């Protein structure tokens, strides 16, 4: 690290995101990462950095204290560095993606690192060739099979192939370019920074669901929208184009992903309410596109609701080795024991319902009105 570089990055407050807190010796890993970033001149915040209410007999209150700490920390965060390695499935930790969504919503820079930028079709061991088409384990066509991650991650995050150190070096390089840019003429206008859909009498609802990957997505979401309309809400789905966003014809997968991401994030900005499918997706985690949208929506002050097929506590749904072995799962990671149905990021930021979609919307309507 060169002395002059400290002054270039000293205004950057990093939040280190990832599932390391669940790992054996994970906090040692996080401490080492924090020390390295500080040595390079960054200020750093770690998950669960401040004193937490972890002795509360109410397990949910413990989780709530962790989430409240995250809310506070995110206020000062200028950049997030996220571990995008696969976690309890084929995709990254959904809580981490939720945090990226929060950071993106407040305008923080988003960086991620991974050792594997192969296409998802190569990484997903459950992908198959059926009737001449590549499909996933659900029988859907490989929606983002050409890309290493879901469109929301591709569109929001600079992804570095390598480790945490490689990500920091990329950030320093970007910071040098950022300072040089200040001397150039011209400006950049972010047209996605505000709503493009006017507020209406009925609440505008965004249906953040995995149905977007299905070939019959239009029909599926059409029925869901009819149910929302029945209960006094106007709904939009990820497969509709948000006002101000147009589909781009391209063969380039990154252009395609950025275009989709722009549409997803604009729906989040436009809506009043997000109703999210929090069911397990490719493992024991919430889908990454959905996770991002929830985190972004929370940070923007949207009302969040979730639904699952099974809202029993997470500790009862993921096989583990019990209390005497720190609730370690098949990967050696802790399973959250907060009496919540899924990752605390989601559980602490919204009400989560179980049942048919109409029953769920009925409960949402009762809560909203």
Q: Can you tell me the distance from the alpha carbon of 148 to that of 116, in angstroms, rounded to the nearest whole number?
A: 8
Name the pLDDT band for 308 (thresholds 50, 70, 90). very high
Cα→Cα distances 175→1, 100, 239, 285, 327, Å: 14, 19, 36, 33, 41
Q: What is the pLDDT of residues 320-341, one digit of tens each?
A: 999 999 999 998 999 999 999 9
Q: What is the pLDDT of residues 24-75, one digit of tens each?
A: 999 899 999 999 999 999 999 877 777 888 899 999 999 999 999 999 999 9
44 touches 14 (CB < 8 A): yes
What percent of the chain is helix, strand and coil (3-state, nearest 5)? 40, 15, 40
Mean pLDDT of 183-208: 75
Is residue 235 pLDDT above 80, yes or no? yes
User: If DSSP states are collapsed to H, E and C, what string results for 346-369?
Assistant: HHCCCEEEECCHHHHHHHHHHHHC
Mean pLDDT of 213-225: 95
Across all residues in the chain, what is the average pLDDT?
Answer: 91
Mean pLDDT of 338-354: 96
Q: Rounded to 10 degrees, what is the CA torsion of 192, 296, 299, 79?
A: -80
Own/partner pairs, 130-134, CB within 8 angstroms, 24+ separation: none
Is residue 225 pLDDT above 90, yes or no? yes
Cα→Cα distances 349→28, 139, 305, Å: 28, 32, 8
Q: What is the pLDDT of residue 137?
A: 80
Q: What is the pLDDT of residue 188?
A: 53
334 touches 22 (CB < 8 A): yes
Q: Can you tell me the distance from the alpha carbon of 250 to that of 258, in angstroms, rounded to the nearest whole number?
A: 11
Q: What is the pLDDT of residue 210?
A: 95
Q: What are phi and psi of 255, to 5 degrees?
A: -65, -45
Q: What is the pLDDT of residues 145-184, one digit of tens each?
A: 889 999 999 999 999 999 999 999 999 999 888 877 766 5
Q: What is the pLDDT of residue 293?
A: 98
Q: What are phi and psi of 80, to 5 degrees?
A: -120, 140
Over its C-alpha atoms, the chain yields an Rg (Å, rounded) of 21
Beta strands 133-135; 128-130: pairing state: antiparallel
Q: Can you tell me the distance from the alpha carbon of 51 to that of 152, in angstroms, rounded to the nearest whole number?
A: 32
* Tokens read off for 100: 């990226």
Q: Which of 89, 90, 91, 111 is nearest to 100 (CA)?
A: 111
Q: What is the pLDDT of residue 193?
A: 61
Is residue 191 pLDDT above 60, yes or no? no
User: Residues with Cβ < 8 Å from 271, sequence gap 6 or more?
Assistant: 197, 204, 205, 206, 236, 297, 302
Higher pLDDT, 196 or 328: 328
Q: What is the pLDDT of residue 184?
A: 59
Q: Can you tell me the distance from the alpha carbon of 161 to that of 249, in angstroms, rounded to the nearest whole number?
A: 28
User: If DSSP states are collapsed to H, E and C, what string results for 161-208?
Assistant: ECCHHHHHHHHHHHHHHHHHHCCCCCCCCCCCCCCCCCCCCCCEEEEE
Q: What is the pLDDT of residue 180?
A: 75
Q: What is the pLDDT of residues 101-143, one digit of tens each?
A: 999 999 999 999 999 999 888 888 888 888 877 888 877 877 8
Q: What is the pLDDT of residue 186?
A: 59
* Tokens read off for 138: 């659900």
Q: Can you tell me the distance from the alpha carbon of 351 to that of 356, in angstroms, rounded to the nearest whole number?
A: 16
């Amino acid at each position: 690290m060169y002395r002059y570089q400290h002054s270039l990055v000293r205004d950057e407050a990093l939040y280190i995101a990832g599932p390391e807190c669940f790992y054996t010796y994970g906090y040692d890993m996080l401490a080492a990462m924090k020390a390295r970033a500080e040595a390079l001149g960054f200020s750093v915040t770690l998950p669960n950095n401040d004193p937490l209410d972890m002795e509360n007999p109410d397990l949910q209150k413990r989780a709530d204290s962790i989430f409240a700490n995250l809310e506070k920390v995110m206020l000062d965060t200028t950049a997030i560095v996220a571990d995008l390695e696969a976690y309890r499935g084929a995709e990254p930790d959904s809580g981490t993606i939720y945090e990226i969504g929060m950071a993106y919503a407040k305008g923080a820079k988003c960086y991620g690192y991974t050792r594997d930028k192969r296409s998802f079709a190569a990484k997903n061991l459950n992908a198959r060739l059926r009737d001449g088409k590549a499909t996933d384990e659900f029988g859907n066509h490989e929606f983002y099979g050409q890309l290493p991650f879901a469109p929301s991650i591709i569109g929001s995050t600079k992804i570095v192939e390598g480790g945490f150190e490689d990500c920091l070096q990329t950030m320093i390089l970007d910071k040098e370019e950022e300072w040089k840019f200040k001397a150039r003429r011209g400006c950049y206008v972010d047209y996605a920074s505000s709503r493009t859909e006017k507020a209406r009498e009925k609440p505008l609802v965004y249906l953040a669901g995995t149905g977007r990957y299905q070939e019959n997505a239009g029909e599926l979401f059409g029925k869901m929208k009819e149910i929302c309309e029945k209960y006094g809400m106007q709904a939009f789905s990820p497969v509709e184009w948000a006002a101000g966003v147009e589909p781009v014809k391209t063969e380039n997968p990154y252009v395609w992903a950025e275009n989709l991401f722009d549409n997803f994030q604009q729906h989040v900005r436009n809506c009043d309410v997000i109703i999210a499918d929090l069911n397990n997706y490719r493992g024991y985690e919430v889908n990454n596109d959905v996770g991002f949208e929830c985190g972004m929506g929370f940070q923007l002050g949207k009302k969040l609701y979730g639904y699952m097929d099974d809202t029993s506590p997470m500790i009862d749904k993921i096989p583990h080795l019990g209390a005497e072995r720190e609730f370690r799962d098949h990967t050696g990671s802790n399973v959250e024991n907060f009496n919540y149905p899924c990752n605390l990021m989601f559980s602490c930021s919204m009400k989560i319902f179980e049942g048919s979609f109409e029953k769920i919307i009925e409960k949402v309507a009762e809560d909203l009105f």
